[in-house]
Chains A and B, each alone.
Chain A
């Protein structure tokens, strides 16, 4: 009851500050819009392709490459132009199919495909995308070639047969895609999906941390001590203040989710699961804010430091550079990212939105987030008790 009174004052004071409305409600949507427009579809690697003009198998591969959303395909006539374009940075990579691609596959021979790229992590990622795709494409012809070599059936017949078989048991086909690097291919992310998830986490945490200044101010104004002079425990004081911040984070989280759903068509997956993630992440954010509020003694410092830490934590936690990129290029960073609660929340959203998971699938993530929240609150109470009574 008292905690509610404290949370009520906290919220009332928050609402009286007009600028808060901008930071909590307007700014996140603006950023999602801007980032979604720039990065959502903007960064598309260009891949140059040299391929024979004829051949069913060639055509099938080219179709597949063209349909892939992870990069844009440009046809070129010879290897030389592709190499030069890659050197000049006009293409991120080049792919050269041998002139006898069809024939070699039919014969069951080894097929050599040239992959041309400048050294660097980005091309490595592209390389893996294309490897996966090629492996997938060559699976059926290889089966057919094997069948033909064993004399089971002529190549084309075997190929058609293999296609129908794998279409029936399409689990085999799909799993080969997923087991490759489904994370790399962003075919399942909508333009704003990932950005919205990242901004959701970033802003919920950032707003919370910046709000730590409110607790510092309450302390500096002597109000926290005065509350402690009433029959109110430090725990109640802190839970009340935390509840106020939690309320702000929750309003912001739900608002971003609903807003991006309506405006940008972002998919958040199972609604209950999504709400639970926002709830637990709100607890984490408010807990971190309370800890900061108990540690700092100057609210002029707490707000900017909160913003700095909020951005830093978000960056490390995968809210700027996506986790799948970290995982590919810098596994150590990816591991470090999981020190941040953001990473767990983002993975939980991925489970919901990409893998169509339900509440049960995100429970482990929710548990970890609750662990963070509990840890923050316990430390904050312990610290606040020390500073109030010294």
Chain B
């Protein structure tokens, strides 16, 4: 459905997207997971033909897509990261307006507008101006516009930021539903849970490059020889962390608020050494948790930084 090859884009000195490739089959949900500034939005903008590329190629159903290829854009629905709707038009007017830009016949447009209003839970506010909506309602309308013409490829750029858990769940459900109906979905997020829940395959993107790609299981296998130990602790945590880094088998150490996260090859082998090293540094331990690695740990491992700044 969508294939991106070696996408490149620089803003001045900054290589915002530096050779990104991925492909999405029909019915597949692909997630781009990365922190702020990773290059998700820039990649997406090139993928949907909004942005002039410095290099690379985009194919939609095998046909090359450039900003000038208008016809192919009918297959794509875009939900931009930043709200893009008329604040002084009503929800219904906004939907109708974009529907007309997709050349939807009138009867079908009216029906779809009602359907979409139902999906995004705004049926009872359909005739209110968008600027009277709460932030979450605007987000939902923003998503609704992308769904309206029932595209073959739905591209959502962090669509749930600022949406309450209940609405967020409804949105995720409708995306899951669309995915199961054969729609290809490109989804960017920096929420681990969303990527894990929605996406068939995930590309981990950082500093303009895809660091790893695969199903959730495949990604976890990158760390399959590793365990994650989380120690709740008080005292000089940073000194303790320094001591841990000198222990054989310890891959990575991170200090968060009131806890130290340690990535080790085998928890069983290193745990005693870890505990005594911490004790010697004057850190008192209040709890120990040992986990199989999750995406967050994979991310940390691959990029050396956590997803959220």
Where the two chains meet, the residues of A that have a C-beta atom closer than 8 Å to any C-beta of B are 1-2, 5-6, 9, 12-13, 16-17, 221-223, 225-233, 385, 388-390
Cβ of B82: which chain A residues have Cβ within 8 Å of it? 222
Which of B18-26, B29-37, B69-77, B197-205 touches A?
A: B69-77
> B67 interface residue, CB < 8 Å from A?
yes
Contact A388 B89 (CB under 8 A): no
Within the complex, the shortest CB–CB distance from B246 to chain A, in Å, comes to: 49
Nearest chain A CB to B75's CB is how many angstroms away? 9
The answer to whether A225 and B70 touch (CB under 8 A), given A2-B103, A5-B97, A13-B88, is no
Known: A13-B86, A221-B86, A231-B74. A226 touches B97 (CB 8 A): no
Which of B45-53, B237-245, B259-267 is the interface stretch?
B45-53
Is the CB of B85 closer than 8 A to any CB of chain A?
yes
Judge whether A389 and B52 touch: CB under 8 Å.
yes
CA A9 to CA B51, docked complex, whole Å: 25
B162 within 8 A of A: no
Q: Which residue from chain A places its CB closest to the CB of B70 in the assembled complex?
A: A231
Contact B50 A229 (CB under 8 A): yes
State in angstroms the CA–CA spacing of A102 and B86 once bound together: 80
Tell me the chain B residues, 42-94 only, with Cβ under 8 Å from chain A. Answer: 48-52, 67-68, 70-74, 76, 78, 80, 82-89, 93
A-B contact pairs, 14 of them (CB 8 A): A2-B103, A6-B101, A221-B83, A222-B82, A222-B83, A225-B50, A228-B50, A229-B49, A229-B50, A229-B73, A230-B102, A232-B101, A388-B67, A390-B52
Chain A contacts of B88 at CB under 8 A?
13, 16-17
Question: Is the CB–CB distance between A221 and B67 below 8 Å?
Answer: no
Chain B residues with Cβ under 8 A from A388's Cβ? 50, 67
Report A-chain residues with C-beta under 8 Å of the C-beta of B97: 5, 9
Q: How far is the CA of A1 from the CA of B78 in the complex (A)?
A: 22
* Chain A residues within 8 Å of B98, by CB: 226-227, 230
B211 interfacial contact with A, CB 8 Å: no
Chain B residues positioned under 8 Å from A226 (CB to CB): 78, 80, 84, 98, 145
Contacts of B78 in A (CB 8 A): 226, 229
B100 within 8 A of A: yes
Expressed in whole angstroms, the minimum distance between the Cβ of B188 and any Cβ of chain A is 15
**Other 17 A-B pairs with CB < 8 A, given A225-B50, A230-B98:** A5-B97, A9-B86, A9-B93, A9-B97, A12-B93, A13-B88, A13-B89, A16-B88, A221-B86, A226-B84, A228-B67, A229-B50, A229-B78, A230-B101, A231-B71, A231-B72, A233-B68
> What is the bound-complex CA distance between A5 and B68, given in angstroms?
21
B101 touching A2, Cβ below 8 Å: yes
Chain B 245-293 interface residues, beta-carbon cutoff 8 Å to A: none
Kindly list chain A residues whose C-beta atoms are within 8 Å of the C-beta of B102: 230-231
A228 to B68, CA, bound (A): 9
- Residues in A with CB closer than 8 Å to B70 are 231-233
- Cα distance, A9 to B102, chains bound together (Å): 15
A222 to B49: give the CA distance in the assembly, Å: 15
Please report the C-alpha to C-alpha distance between residue A232 and residue B72 in the assembled complex, in whole angstroms. Answer: 10
Known A231-B70, A231-B102: A9·B50 in contact at CB below 8 Å: no
Which residues of B are found within 8 Å of A5, using beta-carbon distances? Answer: 97, 100-101
Q: How far is the CA of A390 from the CA of B73 in the complex (A)?
A: 18
Task: Chain B residues near A229: list those with CB within 8 A.
Answer: 48-50, 73, 76, 78, 80
List B residues 194-225 near A (Cβ within 8 Å).
none
Interchain nearest-CB distance for A46 vs B (Å): 55
Closest B residue to A233 using CB positions? B70
Cα of A9 to Cα of B85 in the assembled complex, Å: 12
Do A223 and B71 touch (CB < 8 A)? no
State the CA gap A1–B105 with chains docked (Å): 12
Let me know if A223 and B86 touch, CB within 8 A: yes
Given contacts A12-B89, A223-B85, A225-B84, contact A389 B50 (CB under 8 A): yes
List, in ascending order, chain B residues with CB within 8 A of A6's CB.
Answer: 101
Chain B nearest CB from A10 CB (Å) reads 10
Q: Is the CB of B73 within 8 A of A221?
A: no
Contact call B80/A225, Cβ cutoff below 8 A: yes
List the A side residues contacting B72 at CB < 8 Å: 231
Q: How far is the CB of B46 from chain A (nearest CB, A)?
A: 10
Known A-B contacts A12-B93, A222-B80, A231-B70; the reply to A390 vs B101 at CB < 8 A is: no
Q: Which residues on the A side are within 8 Å of B67 (C-beta)?
A: 228, 385, 388-389
Residues of chain B within 8 A (CB-CB) of A16 are: 88
Contact between chains at A231 and B50 (CB < 8 Å):
no
Q: With the chains together, A385 CA to B49 CA distance in Å?
A: 12
| In the bound complex, CA of A231 to CA of B83 (Å) | 19
- On whether A231 and B84 interact (CB within 8 A), knowing A2-B101, A12-B89, the answer reads no
| Complex interface: chain A residues within 8 A of B84 (CB) | 221-223, 225-226
